[in-house]
């Protein structure tokens, strides 16, 4: 789950009437996303059922969204957070959602339009706002939102309600969604990335950067560009490190702390190459970097590991690059359409 989408779902939970029972389709929490993907705390005291096609963390019940086992009219709220791109037949799936909702029910469904292929376990579709509008055609009211450029949004969301659902909260959601400030991830096309590489090589001196790896420590640092790097507001950064007694990892640019994270993302291929045991496989991180207030900088990034005694040591340095904190990416969710029947 992406941070800006999490904020949108939090806003939905605060603004919309979400009757019980609440059923989440696609509730399996991918390793490394357990905290951000856990939606139950958004609905305290309400009956909540996590469903997916496979067992795992967050899953209470196995369900096939193409043929749900719920009785007709028995569900109050459905949540499908970035799930429909992984469903082979989304039209049939939404028809099942419509069947199972009661007359006071609502469905919240989100997905991507501009995002890399990500198979959990499969990735089939990308949706335009009009596609989401069409999926909700059988509902009594459907509001469609998008985030990103109007001609090429990265995220699309729908709120579809049955005949007896109060529509005023949906209108309120349309107003409040403009206030979302969590930055969305930047998606860089390969050709654009090559252009940026060339610019980086001309703007930033390609000095040799020493790679420091302490004894009994192996470290890697993956940057969005190679041999240089670039980070703009909303970019992802990922890497891995294996060191004794590591508590967390810090990414710094000079004396500025860019990001602090924990090693909580499995890297089984790297672990296998290094001959590590299964328990040592959680050696990676992948996070969205918040550059608010950092500004534009050039130079190198360094990765530091922090042990349980709060001691820091550098384990890796990047190639020279640019950090562009002044470039703001679209974050607000804008209403595309609101159909009432």
Tokens of 197: 């590489």
**Residues in the chain where the model's pLDDT stays below 70:** 190, 204-228, 243-244, 277-282
Q: Give 138-185 as a DSSP string.
A: TSSEEEEEEEEETTEEEEEEEEEE-TTS-SHHHHHHHHHGGG--PPPP
Residue ranges covered by each domain of the chain: 3-182, 190-324
- Predicted confidence at residue 282, as pLDDT, reads 66
Tokens of 219: 């470290």
- Predicted confidence at residue 206, as pLDDT, reads 54
CA–CA separation, 273 vs 245, rounded Å?
A: 21
SS3 318: coil
- Predicted confidence at residue 11, as pLDDT, reads 96
Tens of pLDDT, residue by residue over 282-321, are 678 878 787 877 888 888 888 898 988 899 888 888 777 8
- Predicted confidence at residue 215, as pLDDT, reads 38
CB atoms within 10 A of CB 90: 23
- Predicted confidence at residue 139, as pLDDT, reads 98
Tens of pLDDT, residue by residue over 232-290, are 777 778 788 776 678 889 999 888 899 898 887 777 777 777 777 666 666 788 787 87
CB atoms within 10 A of CB 64: 14
Indicate the CATH number for domain 3-182: 3.40.50.150
CA-wise closest residue to 46 among 16, 68, 76? 76
CA–CA separation, 158 vs 98, rounded Å?
A: 13
CA 199 to each of CA 195, 203, 227, 319: distance values in angstroms, whole numbers, following the listed order: 6, 6, 12, 14
Which run of H or E residues covers position 245?
A: none
CB atoms within 10 A of CB 95: 14
Q: Domain 190-324, CATH 1.10.1740 — does that match?
A: no
């Amino acid at each position: 789950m992406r941070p800006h989408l999490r904020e949108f779902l939090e806003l939905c939970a605060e603004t919309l009437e979400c009757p019980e029972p609440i059923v989440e389709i696609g509730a399996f929490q991918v390793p490394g996303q357990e905290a951000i993907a856990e939606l139950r705390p958004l609905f305290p005291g309400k009956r909540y059922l996590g469903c997916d096609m496979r067992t795992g963390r967050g899953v209470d019940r196995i369900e096939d969204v193409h043929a749900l086992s719920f009785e007709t009219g028995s569900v109050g709220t459905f949540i499908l957070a970035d799930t429909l791109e992984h469903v082979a037949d989304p039209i049939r799936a939404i028809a099942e959602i419509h069947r199972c909702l009661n007359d006071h029910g609502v469905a919240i469904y989100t997905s991507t339009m501009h995002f890399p292929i990500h198979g959990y376990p499969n990735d089939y579709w990308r949706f335009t706002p009009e596609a989401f509008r069409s999926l909700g055609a059988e509902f009594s009211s459907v509001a469609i939102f998008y985030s990103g450029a109007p001609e090429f949004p990265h995220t699309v969301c729908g709120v579809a309600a049955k005949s007896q659902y109060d529509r005023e909260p949906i209108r309120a959601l349309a107003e409040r969604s403009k206030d979302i400030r969590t930055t969305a991830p930047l998606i860089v096309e390969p050709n654009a990335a090559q252009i940026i590489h060339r610019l980086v090589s001309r703007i930033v001196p390609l000095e040799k950067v020493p790679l420091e790896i302490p004894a009994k420590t192996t470290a890697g640092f993956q940057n969005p560009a190679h041999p240089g790097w670039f980070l703009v507001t909303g970019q992802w950064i990922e890497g891995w490190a294996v060191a004794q007694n590591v508590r967390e990892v810090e990414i710094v640019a000079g004396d500025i702390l860019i990001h602090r994270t924990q090693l909580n993302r499995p890297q089984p291929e790297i672990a296998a190459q290094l001959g590590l045991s299964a328990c040592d496989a959680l050696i990676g991180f992948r996070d969205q970097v918040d550059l608010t207030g950092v500004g534009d900088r050039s130079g190198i990034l360094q990765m530091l590991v922090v042990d349980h005694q709060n001691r820091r040591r550098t384990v890796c340095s990047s190639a020279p690059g640019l950090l562009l904190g002044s470039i703001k990416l679209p974050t607000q969710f804008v209403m595309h359409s609101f159909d009432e029947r």
